Chain A
Amino acid sequence: MERVRDILTGYTGKRHELVPILQEIQTELGYLPEEALVMIATFTGIPESEAFAIATFYSQFRLTPTGRNRVMVCRGTACHVKGAPQILEEIENYLNIKEGETTPDLEFTLESVACIGCCALAPCIMVNNKDVHGRLTPKRVRGIFSDSKGKEQDTS
Chain B
Amino acid sequence: MIRKERSKIPVKTLLLGQGTCCISAGAEQVYTALKREIAQLGMADSVQVKRTGLCHGFCQLDPVVIIEPEGLLYSEVKVDDVPEIARSFLPGERLVERLFYHSPVTGEAIPRYRDIAFYQRQQRTVLKNCGYIDPEEIDDYLTNGGYQALRQVLLEMTPEQVIKQVKDSGLRGLGGAGFPTGRKWESCYQAAENEKYVVCNADEGDPGAFQDRSILEGDPHSVLEGMIIAGYAVGAAQGYIYVRAEYPLAVKRLRSAIVQAREEGFLGEDIFGSGFGFDIEIFPGAGAFVCGESTALVLSIEGKRGMPKPLPRPRTTEVGLWNKPTLLNNVKTFAAIRWIINKGADWFSSIGTKKSKGTAIFSLTGKTVNCGLIEVPMGITLREIIFGIGGGIPDNKKFKAVQTGGPSGGVLPESLLDTAIDFDSLTAAGSMMGSGGMVVVDEETCMVDLARYFLDFTQKESCGQCSLCRLGSLQMLEILTAITKGEGRMADIDLLIELGEGIKIGSLCGLGQSAPNPVLSTIRYFRAEYEAHILMQQCPAKRCKALISYYIVPDKCTGCTACQRQCPVNAITGDRKKIHVIDQNKCTRCGICLSVCPERFSAVESVPGRLVSGD
A residues with CB within 8 A of B: 14-20, 22-23, 44, 53-54, 57-61, 74-82, 113-122, 124, 126, 129-134, 138
Q: Which 10 A-B pairs have the closest CB atoms?
A: A77-B208, A120-B59, A76-B207, A58-B286, A132-B24, A78-B365, A115-B207, A120-B371, A18-B303, A60-B287
Residue B260, interface by CB 8 Å: no
Segment of B106-114, B228-236, B245-253, B330-338 engaged in the interface with chain A: B245-253
Q: Which residues of B have CB within 8 Å of A57?
A: 288, 305-306
- Asked whether, in the complex, the Cβ of B246 is within 8 Å of the Cβ of A117, the reply is yes
- Asked whether, in the complex, the Cβ of A118 is within 8 Å of the Cβ of B286, the reply is no
- Asked whether, in the complex, the Cβ of A60 is within 8 Å of the Cβ of B366, the reply is no
- Asked whether, in the complex, the Cβ of B305 is within 8 Å of the Cβ of A54, the reply is yes
Assuming the contacts A53-B305, A77-B453, A119-B371, asked whether A114 and B24 have C-beta atoms less than 8 A apart, the reply is no
Assuming the contacts A80-B453, A81-B366, A129-B248, asked whether A117 and B213 have C-beta atoms less than 8 A apart, the reply is yes
Residue B68, interface by CB 8 Å: no
B residues with CB within 8 A of A: 20-21, 23-25, 59-60, 62, 204-210, 213, 245-248, 283-284, 286-289, 300-306, 363-367, 371-373, 403, 406, 437, 439, 441, 445, 450, 453-454, 457, 595
Besides the known contacts A15-B302, A16-B302, A119-B437, 8 further A-B residue pairs in the complex with CB atoms under 8 A apart? A22-B286, A58-B288, A81-B367, A117-B246, A117-B247, A120-B372, A122-B365, A132-B23
Q: Which residues of A have CB within 8 Å of B306?
A: 57-58
Q: Which residues of A have CB within 8 Å of B205?
A: 114
Bound CA–CA A61/B287 (angstroms): 9
- Partner of A23 from the list B59, B284, B406, B450 (CB cut-off 8 Å) is B284
Bound CA–CA A93/B614 (angstroms): 31
- Asked whether, in the complex, the Cβ of B304 is within 8 Å of the Cβ of A132, the reply is no
- Asked whether, in the complex, the Cβ of A114 is within 8 Å of the Cβ of B289, the reply is yes
Q: Which residues of B have CB within 8 Å of A114?
A: 205, 207, 246, 287, 289, 457
The smallest C-beta distance from A134 to any residue of chain B, in angstroms, reads 5
Bound CA–CA A22/B283 (angstroms): 13
* Of listed A14, A15, A82, A131, residue having the most chain B CB within 10 A: A82
Q: Which residues of B have CB within 8 Å of A124?
A: 24
Q: Which residues of B have CB within 8 Å of A77?
A: 206-208, 365-366, 403, 406, 437, 439, 453-454
- Asked whether, in the complex, the Cβ of B208 is within 8 Å of the Cβ of A60, the reply is no
Assuming the contacts A23-B245, A114-B289, A115-B209, asked whether A121 and B305 have C-beta atoms less than 8 A apart, the reply is no
Q: Which residues of B have CB within 8 Å of A17?
A: 303
- Asked whether, in the complex, the Cβ of A121 is within 8 Å of the Cβ of B24, the reply is yes
The smallest C-beta distance from B131 to any residue of chain A, in angstroms, reads 14
Q: Which residues of A have CB within 8 Å of B289?
A: 114
Bound CA–CA A59/B209 (angstroms): 19
Q: Which residues of A have CB within 8 Å of B363?
A: 119-120
